[in-house]
């Protein structure tokens, strides 16, 4: 999936947290979701984050390749424990998992238990019309939830 779709899904998850836990959602958590939703693609130099952190991206993509170690569920769990489950760590965990979920919907798929070979794939081609439809759905749902919030949660 593309940067914008990952970010839109991260934003949708953030909106849900803002609605469901309005008093427990903080900036570090939201920053963590945004960062986590794009961080796995550090393993490709052509990605948004890979272009901004080229030296790191070059090393990771050369050693492991794209959709390998950085697309395994071990990484967000390690990050979560390293950050001792603080707000940033929880946000990174949800953002990162949202990235893996979306990539699992693509034909290229992901290996969540990397280096084990089990691959999860979906029907969507990255950058296709279906991804664009998904992007608009995510943006539309986020706006809809925000607009309907006073009617769903009147307090
Ligand atoms: Zn990815």
Sequential DSSP letters for 85-108: T-HHHHHHHHHHHHHHHHHHTBSS
pLDDT at 149: 86
Mean pLDDT by groups of 10 residues along the chain of 155 residues: 96 90 81 96 96 96 95 97 94 96 97 95 97 98 92 73
pLDDT at 25: 67
Q: How many Cβ atoms sit within 10 Å of the Cβ of residue 44?
A: 18
- Ligand 1 centroid–CA 7 distance in Å is 12
Q: What angle do CA 57, 43, 73 make, to 5 degrees?
A: 135
- Ligand 1 centroid–CA 149 distance in Å is 31
pLDDT at 153: 72
pLDDT at 21: 80
Measured over the CA atoms of residue 34, residue 82, residue 53 and residue 61, the dihedral's sign is negative
- Ligand 1 centroid–CA 83 distance in Å is 22
Q: Are 87 and 33 in contact (CB under 8 A)?
A: no
Distance separating alpha carbons of residues 45 and 94, to the nearest angstrom? 23
- Ligand 1 centroid–CA 3 distance in Å is 9
pLDDT at 20: 83
Q: What DSSP string describes the chain?
A: --HHHHHHHHHHHHHHHHHH-TTT--HHHHHHHHHHHHGGGGGSTTSHHHHHTHHHHHHHHHHT-TTSGGGSTHHHHHHHHHTTT-HHHHHHHHHHHHHHHHHHTBSS-B-TTTTS---B--SBPTTSHHHHHHHHHHHHHHHHHHHHHHHHS--
Distance separating alpha carbons of residues 132 and 129, to the nearest angstrom? 5
- Ligand 1 centroid–CA 136 distance in Å is 19
Q: What is the pLDDT of residues 95-114, one digit of tens each?
A: 999 999 999 999 999 999 99
* Chain CA centroid to CA 124, Å: 16
pLDDT at 7: 96
- Ligand 1 centroid–CA 147 distance in Å is 30
Q: Which residues place a Cβ less than 5 A from the ion ligand 1?
A: 40-41, 103
């Amino acid at each position: 999936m593309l940067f914008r779709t990952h970010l839109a899904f991260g934003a949708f998850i953030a909106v849900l947290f803002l609605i469901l836990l309005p008093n427990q959602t903080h900036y570090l958590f939201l920053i963590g979701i945004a960062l986590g939703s794009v961080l796995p693609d550090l393993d490709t130099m052509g990605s948004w984050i890979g272009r901004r952190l080229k030296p790191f991206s070059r090393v990771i993509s050369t050693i492991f390749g794209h959709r390998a170690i950085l697309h395994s569920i071990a990484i967000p769990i390690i990050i979560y424990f390293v950050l001792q489950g603080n707000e940033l760590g929880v946000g990174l965990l949800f953002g990162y998992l949202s990235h893996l979920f979306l990539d699992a919907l693509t034909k290229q798929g992901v290996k969540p238990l990397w280096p084990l070979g089990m691959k999860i794939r979906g029907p969507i081609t990255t950058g296709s019309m279906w991804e664009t439809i998904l992007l608009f759905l995510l943006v539309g749902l986020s706006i809809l939830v925000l607009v309907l919030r006073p009617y769903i949660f009147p307090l």
